[in-house]
Amino acid sequence: MPKFYLTTPIYYVNARPHLGHTYTTVVADTIARYQRMCGFDVFFLTGTDEHGETVARSARKAGVEPKAFVDEVAAQYQRLWKTLGLEYDRFIRTSEPGHAAAVKKIFQVVKRAGYIYKGKYEGLYCIPCELYVTDPTPEGNCPTCGRAPERVQEENLFFRLSAFQERLLEHYEKHPEFIQPVTRRNEVISFVRSGLRDLSISRTRFGWGIPVPDEEGHVFYVWFDALTNYLTGIGYGAGGAKQREFSRLWPADLHLVGKEIIRQHAVYWPAFLLAARLPLPRSVWAHGHWMFEQEKMSKSRGNIVRAEPVHRVLGSDGLRYFLLREMVFGQDGNFSYAALLTRYNSDLANDYGNLASRLLTMVERYFKGEIPYPSAGADRTAEDKEVEAVAEKSITRFQQCFDRYDFSRGLEAVWSLIAALNKYLVETEPWELAEDETRRARLATILWTAAEGLRIATALLYPAMPTASERIWSQMGLEGDPSQVKLDELSWGQLPTGTRIGPFESVFPRLDKEAVLRQLRELEEKLTAGPTGAAPGGAVAADEQNWITIDDFAKVEMRVGEVRSADRVAGAQRLLKMMVDIGDEVRQIVAGIAEAYSPEQLVGRKVVIVTNLQPRRIRGVESNGMIVAAAVGEQGRPVLATFSEDVPVGARLK
């Protein structure tokens, strides 16, 4: 059996896994299942990247030792992958002693080959990204995360990256499939063409890392350490049987990465390997980013969606389907709960789930649970032949798409079959035929045809939705499980005679969108209200913090208002009575700001008003809202909230 070795990035443990990490791992799991169905002996590696300054800092913040910290977060990753049913073959952690030994070994090889020297680095460094910033943004910030880098100076070991410029370019030229998609390939080629600078591969600034042999005080820079996981994860440097396993699996067939780390994988990594005289991976595939609320989902931006709530409400297949179907692999995608639920209800509940339950109900009712077989010589109508043709086309198209990791179109191909089957049932009306004893042969042909189509669709859906596919497979009474189907052999007409359906229940029940949206938001809130880091010791229970949920906050309506008039309230030194235009009405508001602002200063000014506060009387004067101000100093001097840009009256704050 030919082998297929694929990897995900190893994820940093400075934060808990979010939907972005889940995405790459789901894609890898899908490819692994698909390649197995194509007859490959697959090895799927994932893991965690546990060294570096950021991790050490996060641990310190949590008040625990780095090792305890990374153990906890690595376990969170493993638990989540288990919950989601993601089946990797090996989970590598860079804090494993075997990994450290392998990093040291490859370093020695590279050093002996003359590609390492000692030098001084002086320049900008972005701590959260663990990157030297050589090409800052015009504002002088880190090009990856946009935050301000720090100026550092240190003695480092350098890797002669510059020596590989021509060889890398040659390799890209000779192996166009090495970097995909083509946009990333072009990007990398132009980066390399513009000239490669040597790369610093050690640090003396922190100690949480793998010590560099014979260099007191130096630990490996995270990328030299991290990239090597792709070798150690399959036995590099371990000797004996493990080394044989390494020789069998290396080079990797596919490194899946997010587009932000393409340079490390398509430039640094092959250069390290060339220096160590190891073969290069066959391809590095950089996918796009999930955006949430218009920005890349990331911990630092605080716009994170997590997999757990979606899994809890929709199941892992609902999540997998959305991720694979909605994002064109290679491009960015927008995540929204509304889109997720719309897809779930339309594609999974209405189209696929309904097809299965409708068909199985008819088999049960009209043929006592045995899928009928068309009688010999029964005439096949144009409609029957059309379904067969669509099914055969779907199989081919699905494979063509999945072979090039075009999951979205591959799933579309399956949906064209599902749509054809639903249409077929509507048009042939088996429930009408069932009323007529003389039409039983035709009824049998129709139900068999639909069942055969459903079998094919279900087999094709296994890589993307393994649980649902297995369940429908067994509800149909088919032998074994869909993972055993050989895709090359899958074709029309293989549904065995006498197949007896099993007990069935709806696999994708239709969901009440509003209620589920609320439930998802509540679960998400509960999770994010917890520790933002993964700090075991730093974890503060949500309740102890008196967090409010986003729904609580959404209850407060704040709007931009403009003060039309302001007068002092007789007999009350601190109070002003204002008429404030809030867009669709003018409100009377009383506020204790007279000592800080004169009426003249306020008229015409834009202010922030809480508009849904219960009306109340202050010194006998009705107040319909509250003006928002900071309380400054010990006396709590009010300073009104304002905007540095012009904003329209009535605009809502959120």
Residue 519 tokens read as 């439930």
**30 lies in the site for ligand ME8, by CB under 6 A:** no
C-alpha span between 363 and 378 (Å, rounded): 19
Q: HSE of 289 in the Cβ direction (CA atoms, 13 Å)?
A: 14
51 lines the binding site for ligand ME8 (CB under 6 A): no
Nearer to ligand ME8, 281 or 453 (CB): 281
* DSSP-derived secondary structure letter, 148: P
Q: Which of residues 332-361 bind ligand ME8 (CB under 6 A)?
A: none
Nearer to ligand ME8, 234 or 420 (CB): 234
Give the separation between CA 129 and CA 150, rounded to whole angstroms: 12
Closest by CA position to 266, among listed 183, 161, 179, 175: 179
Distance CA 90, CA 79 (A): 14
**154 DSSP 8-state letter:** E
Phi, psi of 581 (to 5 degrees): -80, 120
> Are residues 70 and 48 in contact, defined by beta-carbon separation less than 8 angstroms?
yes
x/- letters, 396..435, toward ligand ME8 (CB under 6 A):
----------------------------------------
Segment lying near ligand ME8 (by CB under 6 A), choices 77-85, 257-265, 426-434, 484-492? 257-265
Among 4, 5, 11, 405, binds ligand ME8 (CB under 6 A): 11
| 23, 88, 208, 367: residue in contact with ligand ME8 (rule CB under 6 A) | 23
Q: Please pick, from the candidates 196, 227, 267, 576, the single residue that binds ligand ME8 as defined by CB under 6 A.
A: 227
Closer residue to ligand ME8, CB minimum distance, 273 or 608: 273
Least distance from C-beta 554 to ligand ME8, angstroms? 25
Q: Which of residues 364-393 bind ligand ME8 (CB under 6 A)?
A: none
Give least dist CB 322 to ligand ME8, A.
Answer: 14
Instruction: Considering only the C-alpha atoms of the chain, give the largest distance between any 2 of them, rounded to a whole number of Å.
Output: 102
Which of these ranges, 19-27, 362-370, 545-553, 589-597, lies near ligand ME8 under the rule CB under 6 A?
19-27
Which range, of 75-83, 256-264, 407-415, 556-564, touches ligand ME8 by CB under 6 A? 256-264
Residue partners of 471: CB distance under 8 A and separation at least 6: 507
Does residue 268 bind ligand ME8 (CB under 6 A)?
A: no
Which token pair is 184? 């990333």
Q: Shortest Cβ distance from residue 181 to ligand ME8 (Å)?
A: 15
Q: Min. distance of Cβ 453 from ligand ME8 in angstroms?
A: 34
Interacting span for ligand ME8 (CB under 6 A) from 222-230, 367-375, 526-534, 638-646:
222-230
Stretch of 134-142, 205-213, 254-262, 644-652 contacting ligand ME8, by CB under 6 A: 254-262
How far from 329 is each of 258, 389, 406, 639, CA to CA, in Å?
Answer: 11, 28, 6, 50
258 binds ligand ME8 (CB under 6 A): yes
CA R_g for the chain: 31
- Tokens 């969108």 belong to 513
49 forms part of the interface with ligand ME8 (CB under 6 A): yes
Near ligand ME8 by CB under 6 A, which window of 6-14, 107-115, 382-390, 520-528?
6-14
Closer of 256 and 395 to ligand ME8 (Cβ): 256
370 to 117, 367, 418, 443, 542: CA distances (angstroms): 74, 6, 22, 13, 53
Nearer to ligand ME8, 296 or 510 (CB): 296
- Residue whose beta carbon is closest to ligand ME8: 20
Which residue in 585, 604, 595 sits closest to 629, CA to CA?
595
Q: From residue 495 to residue 524, what is the string marking binding to ligand ME8 with x (rule CB under 6 A)?
A: ------------------------------
Stretch that binds ligand ME8, among 8-16, 77-85, 426-434, 568-576 (CB under 6 A): 8-16
**Which alpha helices (H) appear in 182-239, and where do they start and end?**
182-193, 222-227, 229-232
Take residue 94 and report the two structure tokens written for it: 């860079």
Q: Tell me the per-residue interface mask from 286 to 325 with ligand ME8, x by CB under 6 A, - otherwise.
A: ---xx-----xx----------------------------
Which residues face 158 on adjacent strands? Answer: 117, 200
Asked if omega into 143 is within 30° of 0 (cis), the reply is no
Q: Which stretch binds ligand ME8 (CB under 6 A): 165-173, 255-263, 363-371, 638-646?
A: 255-263
Q: Which amino acid is located at 59 in the chain?
A: A
Instruction: Residue 27: name the closest of 286, 232, 314 by CA.
Output: 286
Tell me the three state secondary structure of residue 437: helix
Cα separation of 423 and 421, whole Å? 5
Residue 226 contacts ligand ME8 per CB under 6 A:
yes
- Nearer CB in complex with ligand ME8: 227/569: 227
Is the peptide bond preceding residue 251 cis, with omega within 30 degrees of 0?
A: yes
Q: Where does this chain bind ligand ME8 (CB under 6 A)?
A: 9-12, 20-21, 23-24, 49, 226-227, 229, 257-258, 260-261, 289-290, 296-297
